[in-house]
């Protein structure tokens, strides 16, 4: 058995990137756990622990999921991200949104069912689009005010109710930069656990308009050539980084 043990948004992991097989050996008190499936043939559970914590064995610590993104193997990060999202969903859906009754875990399905009215709640997934805009030999990179200092990325935003993914791509770019785009093409997707998104990646080409950074969504936006000195980019496992790398290698 493998355990994903979270303390808020931080995962218990060893310096060698091992996960615990038995949290009771660490003196950790587990009140509620959730099965998340089999990883490499081994059952995997996720649970949360609270402060105060016992002293952990040498080489073990809680590391924030975000800080693990640049260092973990892609498969392990994806697994940890799945566990984190299931845990958050279970915590946030203890009661029925319709009648306020207590919910139970539904058998044979990842869902919560209301013990009073039978209303079923499934894990929440919020689709977001992320897009790489290209103008000839240049790529549009921008900064959001909440990015860490010096980092630039491509643009992204949540899909609104009633909108197609392509409409969301066009709207987000126009809202943030006043640019119009064309040739919107699907690139790939990524589960994104901050907090419960599915990032859908696209590429597109500049069509028309003058670049005009719209605050407060963006702090800065600029066109960069491959040969320019690039600013600090997003972590390597992120789909944002993959889209940028894809441009750099063309």
Residues lying near Zn ion in the complex (CB under 5 A): 96, 98-99, 101, 114, 116-117, 119
Measured from the CB atom, is 116 or 137 closer to Zn ion? 116
Closest contact distance (angstroms) between CB of 94 and Zn ion is 12
Measured from the CB atom, is 39 or 119 closer to Zn ion? 119
Measured from the CB atom, is 74 or 117 closer to Zn ion? 117
- Tell me how far apart the alpha carbons of residues 142 and 215 are, in angstroms, rounded to a whole number: 12
Measured from the CB atom, is 42 or 99 closer to Zn ion? 99
Measured from the CB atom, is 102 or 178 closer to Zn ion? 102
- Tell me how far apart the alpha carbons of residues 31 and 207 are, in angstroms, rounded to a whole number: 55
Closest contact distance (angstroms) between CB of 96 and Zn ion is 3
Closest contact distance (angstroms) between CB of 149 and Zn ion is 46
Closest contact distance (angstroms) between CB of 155 and Zn ion is 39
Closest contact distance (angstroms) between CB of 114 and Zn ion is 3
């Amino acid at each position: 058995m493998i355990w994903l043990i979270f303390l808020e948004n931080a995962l218990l992991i060893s310096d060698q990137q091992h996960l615990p097989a038995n949290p009771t050996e660490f003196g950790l008190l587990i009140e509620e756990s959730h099965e998340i499936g089999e990883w490499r043939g081994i059952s995997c559970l996720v649970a949360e622990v609270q402060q105060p914590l016992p002293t952990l064995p040498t080489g073990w610590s809680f590391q924030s999921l975000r800080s693990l993104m640049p260092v973990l193997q892609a498969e392990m990060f994806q697994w940890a991200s799945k566990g984190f999202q299931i845990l958050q969903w279970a915590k946030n859906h203890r009661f029925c949104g319709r009648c306020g009754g207590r919910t139970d875990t539904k058998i044979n399905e990842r869902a919560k069912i209301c013990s009073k009215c039978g209303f079923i709640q499934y894990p929440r997934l919020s689709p977001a689009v992320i897009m790489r805009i290209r103008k000839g030999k240049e790529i549009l990179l921008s900064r959001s005010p909440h990015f860490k200092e010096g980092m630039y990325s491509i643009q992204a935003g949540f899909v609104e109710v009633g909108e197609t993914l392509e409409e969301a791509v066009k709207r987000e770019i126009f809202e943030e930069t006043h640019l119009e785009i064309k040739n919107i093409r699907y690139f790939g997707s990524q589960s994104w656990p901050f907090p419960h998104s599915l990032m859908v990646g696209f590429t597109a080409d500049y069509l028309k308009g003058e670049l005009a950074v719209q605050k407060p969504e963006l702090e800065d936006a600029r066109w960069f050539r491959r040969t320019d000195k690039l600013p600090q980019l997003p972590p390597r496992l992120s789909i944002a980084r993959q889209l940028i790398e894809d441009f750099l290698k063309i």
